[in-house]
């Protein structure tokens, strides 16, 4: 290129850059103006919430029937109904080590069978240590007695407070995270 054309090219590039930057400031200015217009508008009224409807209480009439969510093995151990009059936790019973944890803190890790044929479940504590339990042992904070051990879960019956200042037996499961 010749030395005469070089200043003209620089001037042309500088002019294009100034025009381009001017276009950006116009868009920014337009956006700022639109935001200022929105801020200056009066606040829109908010619709009041709808009136609450009174709904009559529903009386569940199938409570004496078997729950479709329980495995048959638990129904046989639990008995014909879940609401058993006179159910109370045994406060004289010595608590087992795994009864100091909530069931959500315990992890079922597997099953071991002793040489005598006794089946034990391996349960991991929150600190990572593992304990063995068998049918009849207790887990959790609600006097959960183990009633069945399968390869994938531990089924137990807990004694929990009900809404009538009494206690009911409630089935619960500790399921293996590995299926």
- Domains of the chain, first to last: 103-175 (2.30.30.830)
Average pLDDT for the chain: 81
Over residues 41-48, the mean pLDDT reads 88
Is residue 56 scored above 50 in pLDDT? yes
What CA–CA distance (Å, rounded) separates 139 from 157?
Answer: 10
Asked if 75 contacts 146 with a C-beta cutoff of 8 angstroms, the reply is: no
To 5 degrees, how large is the angle CA 120–CA 123–CA 124?
150
Who wins on pLDDT, 64 or 46? Answer: 46
- Predicted confidence band of residue 157 (pLDDT cuts 50, 70, 90): very high
Confidence of residue 83 (pLDDT cuts 50, 70, 90): very low
Query: Which segment of 64-68, 128-132, 135-139, 166-170 scores lowest on mean pLDDT?
Result: 64-68
- Give the highest mean pLDDT range of 13-22, 35-44, 68-77: 35-44
Query: What values do phi and psi take at 159, rounded to 5?
Result: -110, 110
Q: What percent of the chain has pLDDT over 70?
A: 78
Cα 79 from chain centroid (whole Å)? 30
pLDDT of 73 reads 65
What's the confidence (pLDDT) of residue 158? 92
Q: Pick from 1-15, 59-73, 144-158 the range whose average pLDDT is largest.
A: 144-158
Residues with Cβ within 8 Å of 170's Cβ and at least 6 positions away in sequence, in order, are: 82, 142, 157, 158, 159, 160
């Amino acid at each position: 290129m010749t030395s005469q054309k070089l200043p003209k090219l620089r001037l042309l590039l500088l002019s294009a850059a100034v025009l381009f930057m001017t276009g950006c400031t116009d868009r920014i200015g337009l956006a700022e103006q639109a935001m200022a217009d929105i801020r200056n508008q009066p606040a829109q009224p908010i619709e009041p919430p709808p009136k609450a409807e009174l709904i009559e209480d529903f009386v569940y009439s199938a409570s004496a029937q078997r729950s479709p969510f329980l495995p048959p093995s638990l129904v046989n151990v639990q008995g014909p109904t879940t609401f058993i009059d006179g159910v109370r936790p045994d406060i004289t019973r010595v608590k087992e080590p795994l009864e100091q944890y909530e069931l959500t803190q315990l992890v079922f890790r597997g099953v071991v069978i002793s040489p005598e044929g006794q089946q034990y479940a391996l349960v991991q504590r929150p600190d990572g240590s593992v304990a063995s339990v068998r049918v009849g042992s207790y887990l959790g904070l609600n006097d959960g007695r183990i009633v069945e051990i399968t390869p994938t879960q531990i089924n137990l019956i807990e004694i929990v407070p009900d809404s009538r200042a009494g206690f009911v037996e409630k089935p619960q499961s500790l399921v293996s995270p590995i299926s």
